[in-house]
Structure 1
Amino acid sequence: MSGPGGPRSGKTTWFQRKRTRELALVVCFLLPSLAIFFLYRILPLGWNAWLSVHAWSPLKAAQFIGLEHYEEMLLDDDVFWQALANTLIFIACSPLAIAAALGIAVLVNSDLRGAAVYRTIVFLSYPLMTVAVGIIWRWLYDERGGFFNYVLRSTGVIDQPMKFLQSFDWALPCVILADFWQVLGFYMIILLTGLQSIPQHLYEAARVDGVPARARFFRITLPLLRPSIFLCIVVGILNSFTSFDLVYVMTNGGPGHATELLITYIYKAGFGQTRFDYAAALTVVQFLLLVVLTVIANKLSGGNAGSLER
């Protein structure tokens, strides 16, 4: 005859063994992904942080120098400040593309005839390879046979062809426009999904109450689209830090570093000047800036979500 606690303790032991087996199974499934994440994300990040405080090249041993690279970057490197400013301009212009995508999403979400065709046409730019996008837009901006110069000269707007990508003032806006064209379709799909998830009875109730269309947009559509808009903002931030191939194909950071981004400057410092230690410091700064901007965007989104819930 077993004691009073015998069966219960045996049952508890069986549940503990089952939970242990389930935990081991979960770990086995996650282990390959965690190993890849550690190998290609955590380890390179740690290596960059270590390398940024050392003087190192493939031909000599590493020597600890503390924060000398960061001091050089902040005090003596004008190209770094130019690249940082261009990257921030890229990010600051993202809301313009999001606003344009929102307008298109509202149109194709309506009863517009052929909305599905227009939606497909707008989205077609996103699956294209960025290198192909850069080549297409470089041809459009070409001063000799480019489409934009042809149209402007044919309509009498200009007499001489404009050197869009060779102009210090025009190069960065031209690259940003090409980037917007590529990501516009992606923004549109995200916002369109958010629009279609808004309950229609909210609009019907507002119409019954006599609320005009503009007020319905600002009081119903925009507040309920905040999660989708936040996702677009995060994508815009990430895209601004990873637009290497587009800039490299269209301008290579020129003219005179007018389109230099942090990502292109990191590449040039590492592989052009073989200053891998300095490039590592630039990478750390870019990573920290990305984290700060993402946290700020997340905080703003959290505040909006809280206000909606209240």
Structure 2
Amino acid sequence: MVTATVEAGRRHRSSFIARKTTRQAVLIWCFLAPSLLIFLLYRILPLAWNVILSFQAWSPLRPAVWIGFDNYDEMLTDEVFWQSLWNTLYIIGSAPIGIAIALALALLVNADIRGRDVYRTAIFLSYPLMTVAVAIIWRWMFDERVGLINYVARSLHLVDSPIQFLNSFTWALPSVIAANIWQMLGFYMIILLTGLQNIPGNLYEAAEIDGANAFRRFLRITLPLLKPSIFLCFVIGMLNSVTSFDLVYVMTGGGPGRATEILVTYIYKLGFVQTRFDYAAAVTVVFFIMLITIAWAANRFSGGNAGAVERD
């Protein structure tokens, strides 16, 4: 009799827990449903349609025709695609330069100097600005007639005639890269400054007692413990670099010629200027795969280094 009562109690408890778990699961899915629906409608379905479109010949004026890998084959001989790809990789490669400058600034404003809060705010102000505003500011600064950079260079007798930064095949891409680095400096600095402030001070005190100078303390303590923050900046910097459509489009429009054309501006022109939506879809798929590969590689590289720091 007692055994039967205990068994009945267990079954009742199990049934109650199962009903409670089911209610919680239903409630969770009800809260998630709006966000998942929006994600499905505006992310998954457009991406799937884009992949399908990349295997077709289609424009608003003619029906879709399945052509297989023809659009991807065209990319192999498309000089503009390769030029925009190399320009994109150049901008990605500039991310470590911005991180190095931001690290120097973070070390400076982390020191006990007068007015460091003012300096932190002034450096960070570049990041909240709209990218279009940043592009307009730097377009004015690089202007050959009224630009500040040419004015200072001529005042110091560094150049005899104004440099046409944004109209030069040599200077256009470095000018865009400089504007992109400046915009991200504030973000990099805040991330690195947070990492610096999380390093225990007793590590520096112990190293100083052992006779380590400032440079060795930086190499042996600061850099290893900042690796997670540095890699976070690196990943975000790369992703920001390859999606800087508004910065490039406002500053140069991809010119002169194709000197500053990157993949996002090329995709825009293919789709909305040349109405080659099928080929633009194929370039977008390649671009998406490149982004996923870069993010995955950086994530794996960051994880490996973070583990090494923890083991040390």
Q: State the TM-score, normalizing by the size of structure 2.
A: 0.96
1:48 match? 50
Counterpart CA distance in 2 for 1:143 and 1:4 is 89
Structure 2 stretches lacking a partner, 5+ long: none
What's the Cα RMSD here?
Answer: 1.1
* Cα offsets for 1:229-278 (capped at 9, x unmatched): 11111111111121000100110000111000000000000001000011
SS in 2 for 1:165: helix
Counterpart CA distance in 2 for 1:229 and 1:6 is 59
Counterpart CA distance in 1 for 2:154 and 2:306 is 50
Q: What is the identity, as a one-letter code, of the residue corresponding to 2:138?
A: W
SS in 1 for 2:58: strand
1:29 match? 31
Q: What is the identity, as a one-letter code, of the residue corresponding to 1:13?
A: S
What is the CA distance between 1:3 and its match in structure 2? 4.0
Aligned ranges for residues 99-248 of structure 1 at < 5 Å?
99-248=100-249
Counterpart CA distance in 1 for 2:309 and 2:158 is 49
Counterpart CA distance in 1 for 2:11 and 2:209 is 63
* Cα offsets for 1:86-144 (capped at 9, x unmatched): 00000111000000001101111110111110010001111111111111111111111
How many residue pairs match? The answer is 309
Q: Name the stretch that deviates more: 149-158 or 245-254.
A: 149-158
Q: Does 1:286 align with 2:280?
A: no
Counterpart CA distance in 1 for 2:245 and 2:165 is 19
What is the CA distance between 1:306 and its match in structure 2? 2.0
Q: Does 1:15 align with 2:38?
A: no
Counterpart CA distance in 2 for 1:254 and 1:82 is 12
Structure 1 stretches lacking a partner, 5+ long: none
2:56–2:278 CA contact under 8 A, matched in 1: yes
Counterpart CA distance in 1 for 2:45 and 2:220 is 47
Q: What is the identity, as a one-letter code, of the residue corresponding to 1:141?
A: F
* Cα offsets for 1:191-222 (capped at 9, x unmatched): 11111111222222222222221111111111
Give the fraction of aligned pairs with identical amino acids, expressed as a percent.
63
Q: What is the identity, as a one-letter code, of the residue corresponding to 1:61?
A: P
2:71 match? 69
Q: What is the identity, as a one-letter code, of the residue corresponding to 2:50?
A: N
Q: What is the identity, as a one-letter code, of the residue corresponding to 1:254?
A: G
1:266 match? 267
SS in 2 for 1:302: helix
SS in 2 for 1:5: helix
2:180–2:241 CA contact under 8 A, matched in 1: no
Question: Which contiguous aligned blocks of 4+ residues in structure 1 show a shift greater than 4 angstroms?
Answer: none
SS in 2 for 1:229: helix
Q: What is the identity, as a one-letter code, of the residue corresponding to 2:30?
A: C
What is the CA distance between 1:12 and its match in structure 2? 1.0
Q: Name the stretch that deviates more: 80-89 or 294-303.
A: 294-303
Q: What is the identity, as a one-letter code, of the residue corresponding to 1:185?
A: G
Counterpart CA distance in 2 for 1:221 and 1:34 is 41
SS in 2 for 1:56: strand
What is the CA distance between 1:305 and its match in structure 2? 1.7
Q: Name the stretch that deviates more: 238-247 or 33-42.
A: 33-42
